[in-house]
Amino acid sequence: MKALCDQEGYLLDLSDWNRNVAEILAEEVGIELSDAHWELILLVREFYQEYELSPSMRPLVKRVARKLGKEKGRSIYLLGLFPGNPAKSLAKIAGLPRPTNCI
The catalytic residue positions are 102
Chain-centroid distance of CA 99 in Å reads 10
In sequence order, the β-bridge partners of residue 49 are none
Burial (CB count within 10 angstroms: exposed 0-12, middle 13-18, buried 19+), residue 8: exposed
